[in-house]
Amino acid sequence: MSDAYAVIGNPIGHTKSPLIHGLFAEATGQDMVYTAIEGRIGQFAADMDKFRAAGGRGMNVTAPFKLDAFACATEHSQRAQMAGAVNALRFDGERVIAENFDGVGLARDVVHNLGHPLKGKRVLVLGAGGAARGALLPFLAEGPAGLVIANRTVSTAEALAEAASAHGRVVACGYSDLEGLEFDLVFNATSASLRGELPPVPATVFAPGALAYDLAYGKGLTPFLRLAQQAGTKQLADGVGMLVEQAAEAFAWWRGVRPDTRAVIDLLTVPLV
């Protein structure tokens, strides 16, 4: 019988994970099946246990269950602890091992796929929610010159900066404090693009040669990316590479082999127009 994996979320009809992992399995010769599960709100633990009891080996976890998965896990990686959220689980007997590959997938996409190193660079992260939390440790591991978190509620950004302070220098601020500052990499980790909205960031934050990266994917030229483009920024990217790279990290964690990601990223890329 093939090893069973799944992604769980609600809603889940839009997910690309079965396609991605199916392509990875085919390319690496892994005997596995990967399905999508629409989890029941308030019943995550029961749905997870049902999948485990049927022989499931691991799960990806997407909205709105990343906090539920954290609560259900018996062991957490440092990245999962920092994020306070989980996007991958591995089942080993009674052990439920939790990881968060969102941030490491994002960092790998930026550094390896886009050729934009973070080392020595000025980095701005917009938003202080789960996406930003997941990105901090992988970003700081790359050795940026400085990392700033801007958020509407400054106290939330300050708490996140304090939590990450042992791993590098992180500064928290409000959006109005960004006036007059420039950054080499600007990441939109807010949910604004999902609503077709623009976070209140000044157009002057983009330094010459900057990369503007929207963690949302498949939305085309979002208001954030359009702002960057109008400010003269030529390097624009959405989160499709992050999606594929975090999937590859989970696949390697489960199967012991890391698939090549280039062809899958190319397949899923939507033009930024």
Binding site for shikimate: which residues?
15-17, 62, 87, 102, 217, 246
Q: Which amino acid is at 28?
A: T
Judged by DSSP in three states, 233 sits in: coil
3-state SS track over 18-56: HHHHHHHHHHHCCCEEEEEEECCCCCHHHHHHHHHHCCE
Active site residue 66: yes
Residues annotated within a binding site: 15-17, 62, 87, 102, 127-131, 215, 217, 239, 246
- Tell me how far apart the alpha carbons of residues 149 and 225 are, in angstroms, rounded to a whole number: 18
Contacts of 171 (CB under 8 A, 6+ apart): 146, 147, 148, 149, 161
Catalytic residue among 50, 66, 121, 234: 66
- Tell me how far apart the alpha carbons of residues 184 and 77 are, in angstroms, rounded to a whole number: 30
Active site residues: 66
